Structure 1
Amino acid sequence: MLFEFITTSTMLGVLGASYYFKTNHSDDGEKILKIAENCGLRTKEEKIRLYRRNRNKEQHFTEYVFKIPLGLELEDFQNKRGKFKDGLNNRSERKIILKDFKKLKIDRSLPKQIESLLYNRISLSKEIEMEYDGMLKIRVYDRGLESRYDLTEDMITGRKKWHVPIGKGLNKEVVHDFEKAPHVLIGGATDMGKSNILNLITCVLLKNHPEDVKFTLIDLKGGLEFGPYERLKQVEGFASNAEEAKIALESIQSKMGKTFEFLRMNGFKDVKRAGIKERHFVIIDEAAELASDGETDKEVKTLKIECENIIKDIARRGRASGIRLLYCTQYPTTETVSSQVKRNLIARICFPVDTATASGVVLDEGGAEKIPLIQGRAIYKRNRKTELQTYYVDESLIESIIKPHINIRSRGEKKNAPHQHDKAEAGRSYITKFEEA
């Protein structure tokens, strides 16, 4: 027994040292060079060349910097991203977890226990990022994103201005600033995370700006998704069909017009310069239901065209007047997302879609059709694309945030008044009453 223990321990030391040396001196750079060669990423005269590698221990990735031949571009390598990722993950590796040795039982089965720990293997799940700044940079992360990150109340509080934490990227938290990018286009297949991201944004805004945020919620899936928010004091408009949507949108357009009048009369370019703290968020879930294209009923088509025109106006003039638009659809097509709306929605969040065409509608480029089919996995794009796992918002957290703000008025009363203004006589028409900072 003692002899077996000593010999097994010796074997453990040798294999452990071998494992340490191998894992700390392995080089994915050579693999990348070989994958590039096999994929034809070269010219007749030149292959890609590795210039340097840098290990980032804190963020658990190694960055490889390559010189690429003249005639090749970043897109050539991005198009082969899947082949690089699969090539770097085409084997398992031995994983020795030292804390597991504390659980060993000192009995006759000890050698087998140690052997099992020594030869424990796990599948690799490395992830890669690519960028180009004169040199091709490929970052290889030891592990990819988790399939779920929960949003907590502590993560919400203390955020700057109108910042909303969206989710986790490979090496950073992704935060959206609604002052720099006031409108957001959100697309993706059903049950992939669109409703969750709308809940996330609404809850963070409500928690951090209860006195300054207002909402108009247009839920064209029957009103069920936004139902818990309908009686909030901050909700000035609620709609569950096209007719109610038109009323709510007209009210927003009227409010926007009065704000512009106030700004013009007082010499301000926008609400921020005027010291106006209120921001009004118009959230449209399943905007495809308002698309007039393909509608055969003449009256309904006219109604939808009117809604579309108001949405275009909000997208165009909303920034200066403090109106923020979240335009969400599970059917991203050129008919459901018009070019006039899209060019003013500079921030995009795209969950998995089935085609590169659908990805192009949301992101102006492909990529979302290749996202893993994991709920909450998405691409966030403002200046550049970032793949991330959006934070998950539990129903109990939603309830705890909205409970203090429930209005005692009934649902029926709320519906009959989709938007209300405080009125002040000003010698002409009434204007919205603003609070100066």
Structure 2
Amino acid sequence: MLFEVVTTASMLGVWGASHYYRTNTSNDSDKILKIAENCGLYKKDEKLRLFRRNRSKDGSYTEYVYKIPLGLELEDFTDKYGKFKDGLNNRSVHRIDLREFKRLKLDRTLLKQMQRILNNRVQLNKELEMEYDGMLKIRVYNEGLQEKYDLTQEIMRKCKPWHVALGRTLNGQVDHDFESGPHLLIGGATDMGKSNILNVIINTLLHNHADEVKFTLIDLKGGLEFGVYENIKQVQNFAADVFDAKTALENVQAEMSKTFDMLRRTGKKNVKQAGIKERHFVIIDESAELASEGEVDREIKKLKIECENLIKDIARRGRASGIRLLYCTQYPTAETVSSQVKRNLITRICLPVDTSTASGVVLDEGGAEKLPLIQGRSIYKRNRTKVMQSYFIDEDLISQTVTPHINFRARSEKSSASQRGKKEESARSYTTVIEEA
């Protein structure tokens, strides 16, 4: 009897899946046409017209290709993105999970268990992408992005030279090549996953290029975010305040100028032509702390202006000399991201922000203010924009990657110096000083 029950249920599941696909794709096409009409996306008697329908090989999405009325453009449709998405997700559907049949209990509740499985309904969670190449293409994905994708050693290992796997889109993985896109601007609201993206980048580079990568880490949140990397041998400069930041940036500029002198002498245009394999990554977390605009202390303002000028020089000349700049901020404004730096940071990542203005500072366009408030959900912009969920790297993987490179002697010396400082301070606090009248 059980065999008959399971066999019948399996047949129902296959029938349900095929029925779901037939009715769902048909309904999606009809819905898209109806939504376009209700949104006024037509010209006189000319309406959106379906040209063809293609289903992906893995069944994850269906692509609808439309001929759009003359006088309309892609932006007319992307502006209505939210209406299309909500319209495609305005109902729940039966969803039969065959794995549930393996968990059936052979007791008097068997019938109720089966009814629960067969009557299971889920809210639709479809995502869509739009593009135009003479025809409007709308891809409707059966499922949206997950809220978490874990980074693994295997993912890091498969990255090509100087590539970093940043995350996943609906189409697959986002790989960023630091050779073709040397500098990166990252912005987003507090606690939205910016530090995690930096950890993904640092650990991938460390995992794949331990002998060729160098870091200058400027952590202007007190050194807490980058503290785990402070004592690894690849870190050339580490700064936790504006004073140390200026010194670190001056060191990078000196190295850059030395490399330029070598390139001129040898007649090479860049380090790649010169056969130099090393790459130096300058990562500034919370660059807003270096902004001189609004600083009231005259000396600190002067110091910040010097830092800004150093950053502009690194952004301008860094590519040829093998220096890569990652410029990050929680407060993307015109004051914290200068136009001179921004012009050289072509690749952008923007996590959720509160206004279209903030999105525009990072991406030169709105969109990030509409992202769901999910850590790691972001817009990656290179040649075009992509919504991605960045990979999540856990503390264990960071520890596995970093520990082999820690300079324990340097850490011990630094700890000893810190302890000596504390003892001296303590001794001074108990010393009585008697002044002569």
Give the distance between the partners of 1:97 and 1:104, measured in 2 at CA: 12
SS of residue paired to 1:139: strand
Greater shift, 255-264 or 107-116, is seen at: 107-116
Give the corresponding residue for 1:101.
101
Compute the TM-score of the two structures, normalised by the length of structure 2.
0.90
Give the distance between the partners of 1:116 and 1:82, measured in 2 at CA: 33
Alpha-carbon deviations, 1:251-292, whole Å to 9, x = none? 111110010000001000000000000100000000000001
Give the corresponding residue for 2:73.
73
Mark the CA change 1:329 to 1:363 in structure 2 (over 3 Å): closer, same or farther: same
Compute the TM-score of the two structures, normalised by the length of structure 1.
0.90
Give the corresponding residue for 1:23.
21
**How far is the alpha carbon of 1:98 from its aligned partner?**
2.2
Q: How does 1:29-40 map to 2 (within 5 A)?
A: 29-40=29-40
Give the distance between the partners of 1:166 and 1:103, measured in 2 at CA: 37
**How far is the alpha carbon of 1:56 from its aligned partner?**
0.3
Greater shift, 165-174 or 50-59, is seen at: 50-59
**How far is the alpha carbon of 1:159 from its aligned partner?**
2.2
Give the distance between the partners of 1:11 and 1:265, measured in 2 at CA: 77
Give the corresponding residue for 2:126.
126
Aligned: 1:137 with 2:164 = no
Give the corresponding residue for 2:207.
207
For the 8 Å contact 2:245–2:307, the answer to whether it is kept is yes
Alpha-carbon deviations, 1:392-420, whole Å to 9, x = none? 01111111111111112148769x9xxxx
Give the distance between the partners of 2:102 and 2:110, measured in 1 at CA: 12
Mark the CA change 1:291 to 1:107 in structure 2 (over 3 Å): closer, same or farther: same
For the 8 Å contact 2:285–2:329, the answer to whether it is kept is yes
SS of residue paired to 2:149: coil
Q: How does 1:270-419 map to 2 (within 5 A)?
A: 270-407=270-407, 408-410=409-411
Give the distance between the partners of 1:7 and 1:382, measured in 2 at CA: 54
Q: Which amino acid aligns with 1:138?
A: I
- Unaligned 5+ runs, structure 1: 417-437
Mark the CA change 1:273 to 1:10 in structure 2 (over 3 Å): closer, same or farther: closer
For the 8 Å contact 1:8–1:114, the answer to whether it is kept is no
Give the distance between the partners of 1:315 and 1:172, measured in 2 at CA: 30
SS of residue paired to 1:65: strand
Give the distance between the partners of 1:235 and 1:192, measured in 2 at CA: 26
For the 8 Å contact 1:8–1:111, the answer to whether it is kept is no
Give the corresponding residue for 2:111.
111
Mark the CA change 1:236 to 1:17 in structure 2 (over 3 Å): closer, same or farther: closer
**How far is the alpha carbon of 1:171 from its aligned partner?**
1.4
Give the corresponding residue for 2:426.
none
Q: Which amino acid aligns with 2:139?
A: R
**How far is the alpha carbon of 1:109 from its aligned partner?**
2.6
Alpha-carbon deviations, 1:112-137, whole Å to 9, x = none? 22221111101111111111111110
For the 8 Å contact 2:6–2:101, the answer to whether it is kept is no
Mark the CA change 1:249 to 1:29 in structure 2 (over 3 Å): closer, same or farther: same
Greater shift, 27-36 or 403-412, is seen at: 403-412
Alpha-carbon deviations, 1:177-226, whole Å to 9, x = none? 00000000000000000000111100110111111100000000011111
SS of residue paired to 2:292: coil
SS of residue paired to 1:348: strand
**How far is the alpha carbon of 1:9 from its aligned partner?**
8.8
How many residues get paired? 413
Give the corresponding residue for 1:220.
220
Give the distance between the partners of 1:11 and 1:280, measured in 2 at CA: 60
SS of residue paired to 2:125: coil
Q: Which amino acid aligns with 2:18?
A: Y
